[in-house]
């Protein structure tokens, strides 16, 4: 058997655990990297040709490292015993019950994992929080781990993950920064160094930031809050643009060239989605409230409120443009994933829009190159929804198309062909501002985009 320099385990084989560990295994052939999950089906998929997560570049890396120094397993106890460094990347959704329901983080999976580690460990472990959790969670983790009868030593490290789905492999290979936080004791700093050493195999040293454990935990929540805040800011401005004949893309360009602001995350859209932004901001809001900081909580909650408003506004625009009734009309949703280059549909705006359209008695046809299976699961039991992988077929006979996801392929379609196959008058609602609106108008469409005066034929 090969002697590996380190034996690394990750508990949780999801969107974070799988890609992150694949990158460590790829960059560090001297380490054994194992990913374990209680979900046997998911592990079987990780061990197959059809991975449970779609990320450009992921398949190649997994194929090369799997069975060499990357392993996917289901026996949590054995894996914990064998590893000295344990990443925890389990899900931390918004709590759906009891105190803090709809706001606080649900830490049940995380706590179960801490207990599993404690029960199985018979040698010292470094336990790394990879999942996004409220600040001070490490304290609870330490308490649970140190409540064992034995004398096993545990050091808890915070190493939040900043990857974005759709660009996860690039983000992991060339991160803007890696953050490693620990207790500032001799033992804490030693454990911190061990984790820093892993990343130092491929990440330039100046991009590996060290901090206190509390700053590290809080930084992840704050990073997501700031990112989402930019989207809500430009989306709020888009509503005003629509009333004033300004064009949000021109406004975004003008402000983005200010070097103090920068140009990224200024695309107005139907709203942000994904499993993290809303959950992490609400988590931050809940934390602020629980510390009595109600003004701060209200400030951040506004980011989520604008996002909800943007989705509602989108449907109201469709309704008013289409003569105040959608009943019996066929509407194709172009895209269902919460963003391009992923099949992930968690908290996707498309779900909310699809449900609202069905409530208005429209017939909805969903198309997406990677997310149709998830769309079917998300909309299970919802009537008047059809699924079609081919966008041309999805649009055929429709009264309207609504672009939900910025897949490049939607910008490259033959819209003359699509227009010819649709009911008239034909409408396009570009929820991602990715289409050539002038050209579509020339073809004959009534064009509605975000943050721009509509182009409707009289």
Ligand X SMILES: NC(=O)c1ccc[n+]([C@@H]2O[C@H](COP(=O)([O-])OP(=O)(O)OC[C@H]3O[C@@H](n4cnc5c(N)ncnc54)[C@H](O)[C@@H]3O)[C@@H](O)[C@H]2O)c1
Residues with a catalytic annotation lie at 276
Count the Cβ atoms, other than its own, within 10 Å of residue 417.
Answer: 12
Cα separations in angstroms, 386 against 297, 311, 395, 417: 40, 21, 11, 21
Closer to ligand X by Cβ: residue 192 or 346: 346
β-strands 125-129, 154-158 pairing: parallel
195: contact with ligand X by CB under 6 A: no
d(CA 199, CA 334): 39
* Position with the least CB separation from ligand X: 14
Helix (H) or strand (E) holding 81: helix 76-82
113: contact with ligand X by CB under 6 A: yes
Interface with ligand X by CB under 6 A: which range of 88-96, 147-155, 199-207, 413-421? 88-96
109: contact with ligand X by CB under 6 A: yes
Q: Which of 69, 194, 178, 197 is nearest to 124 (CA)?
A: 194
Among positions 23, 70, 76, 403, the unique one binding ligand X when judged by CB under 6 A: 76
Residue 446: φ, ψ to 5°: -90, 125
Q: Which of 457, 368, 364, 440 is nearest to 407 (CA)?
A: 368
Closer to ligand X by Cβ: residue 25 or 90: 90
378: contact with ligand X by CB under 6 A: no
Smallest gap, in angstroms, from Cβ of residue 156 to ligand X? 15
Interface with ligand X by CB under 6 A: which range of 89-97, 248-256, 373-381, 406-414? 89-97
283: contact with ligand X by CB under 6 A: no
Residues 6+ apart with CB under 8 A from 198: 6, 8, 24, 28, 31, 85
Smallest gap, in angstroms, from Cβ of residue 21 to ligand X? 11
Smallest gap, in angstroms, from Cβ of residue 319 to ligand X? 33
The token duo for 34 is 């194992």
Using CB under 6 A as the criterion, what x/- string covers residues 15-54 for binding ligand X? xxx------------------xxxx--x------------
216: contact with ligand X by CB under 6 A: no
The token duo for 178 is 């890696």
Interface with ligand X by CB under 6 A: which range of 1-9, 110-118, 285-293, 357-365? 110-118
d(CA 449, CA 428): 8
Using CB under 6 A as the criterion, what x/- string covers residues 125-144 for binding ligand X? ------xx------------
Smallest gap, in angstroms, from Cβ of residue 92 to ligand X? 4
d(CA 248, CA 243): 11
Would you call 330 helix, strand, or coil by DSSP?
Answer: strand
Smallest gap, in angstroms, from Cβ of residue 347 to ligand X? 11
Closer to ligand X by Cβ: residue 91 or 367: 91
Instruction: Give me Rg for the CA atoms of the chain.
Output: 24
Among positions 34, 69, 91, 433, the unique one binding ligand X when judged by CB under 6 A: 91
**CB-neighbour burial class of residue 289 (10 A; exposed 0-12, middle 13-18, buried 19+):** middle
β-strands 31-36, 125-129 pairing: unpaired
Smallest gap, in angstroms, from Cβ of residue 175 to ligand X? 12
Q: Which of 328, 400, 312, 402 is nearest to 360 (CA)?
A: 328
Q: Could you tell me which residues are beta bridge partners of residue 208?
A: 178
β-strands 85-88, 70-73 pairing: unpaired
Smallest gap, in angstroms, from Cβ of residue 16 to ligand X? 4
Taking CB under 6 A as the criterion, which residues in 138-177 touch ligand X?
161, 163, 165
Closer to ligand X by Cβ: residue 300 or 314: 300
Among positions 241, 276, 322, 366, the unique one binding ligand X when judged by CB under 6 A: 276
Would you call 385 helix, strand, or coil by DSSP?
Answer: strand
Would you call 262 helix, strand, or coil by DSSP?
Answer: coil
d(CA 248, CA 267): 8
The token duo for 30 is 């001297």
219: contact with ligand X by CB under 6 A: no
Omega of the bond leading into 425 within 30 degrees of 0 (cis): yes
Interface with ligand X by CB under 6 A: which range of 55-63, 83-91, 203-211, 400-408? 83-91
228: contact with ligand X by CB under 6 A: no
Smallest gap, in angstroms, from Cβ of residue 13 to ligand X? 5
178: contact with ligand X by CB under 6 A: no
d(CA 223, CA 273): 16
Smallest gap, in angstroms, from Cβ of residue 279 to ligand X? 7
CA of residue 354 relative to chain centroid, distance? 20
90: contact with ligand X by CB under 6 A: yes
Among positions 8, 9, 12, 281, the unique one binding ligand X when judged by CB under 6 A: 12
223: contact with ligand X by CB under 6 A: no
Q: Which residues contact ligand X (rule: CB under 6 A)?
A: 11-17, 36-39, 42, 76, 89-92, 109, 112-113, 116, 131-132, 161, 163, 165, 275-276
């Amino acid at each position: 058997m090969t002697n590996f320099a380190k034996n690394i385990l990750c508990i949780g084989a999801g969107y974070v655990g799988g890609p992150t560990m694949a990158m460590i295994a790829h960059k560090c052939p001297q380490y054994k990297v194992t990913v374990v999950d209680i979900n046997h089906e998911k592990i079987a998929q990780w061990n197959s040709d059809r991975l449970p997560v779609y990320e450009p570049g992921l398949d190649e890396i997994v194929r090369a490292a799997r069975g060499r120094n990357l392993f996917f397993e289901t026996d949590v106890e054995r894996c914990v015993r064998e590893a000295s460094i344990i990443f925890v990347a389990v899900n931390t959704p918004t709590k759906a019950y009891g105190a803090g329901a709809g706001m606080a983080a649900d830490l049940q999976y995380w706590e179960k994992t801490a207990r599993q580690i404690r029960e199985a460990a018979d040698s010292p472990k470094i336990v790394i929080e990879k999942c996004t959790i409220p600040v001070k969670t490490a304290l609870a983790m330490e308490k649970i781990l140190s409540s064992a009868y034995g004398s096993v030593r545990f050091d808890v490290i915070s190493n939040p993950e900043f990857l974005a789905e759709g660009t996860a492999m690039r983000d992991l290979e060339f991160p803007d920064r890696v953050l490693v936080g620990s207790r500032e004791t001799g033992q804490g700093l030693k454990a911190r160094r061990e984790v820093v050493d892993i990343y130092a195999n491929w990440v330039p040293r100046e991009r590996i930031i060290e901090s206190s454990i509390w700053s590290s935990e809080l930084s992840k929540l704050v990073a997501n809050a700031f990112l989402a805040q930019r989207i809500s800011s430009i989306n709020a401005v888009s509503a005003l643009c629509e009333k004033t004949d300004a064009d949000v893309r021109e406004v975004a360009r003008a402000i983005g060239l200010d070097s103090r602001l920068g140009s990224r995350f200024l695309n107005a859209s139907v709203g942000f989605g994904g499993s993290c932004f809303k959950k992490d901001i609400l988590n931050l809001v809940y934390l602020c409230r629980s510390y009595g900081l109600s003004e701060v909580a209200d400030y951040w909650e506004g980011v989520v409120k604008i996002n909800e408003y943007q989705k509602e506004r989108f449907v109201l625009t469709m309704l008013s443009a289409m003569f105040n009734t959608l009943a019996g009309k066929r509407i194709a949703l172009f895209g269902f994933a919460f963003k391009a280059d992923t099949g992930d549909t968690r908290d996707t705006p498309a779900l909310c829009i699809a449900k609202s359209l069905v409530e208005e008695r429209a017939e909805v046809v969903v198309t997406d190159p990677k997310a149709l299976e998830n769309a079917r699961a998300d909309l299970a039991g919802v009537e008047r929804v059809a699924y079609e992988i081919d966008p041309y077929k999805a649009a055929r006979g429709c009264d309207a198309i609504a672009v939900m996801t910025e897949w490049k392929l939607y910008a490259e379609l033959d819209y003359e062909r699509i227009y010819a196959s649709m009911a008239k008058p034909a409408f396009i609602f570009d929820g991602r501002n990715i289409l050539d609106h002038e050209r579509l108008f020339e073809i004959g469409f009534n064009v509605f985009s975000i943050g721009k005066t509509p182009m409707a034929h009289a």
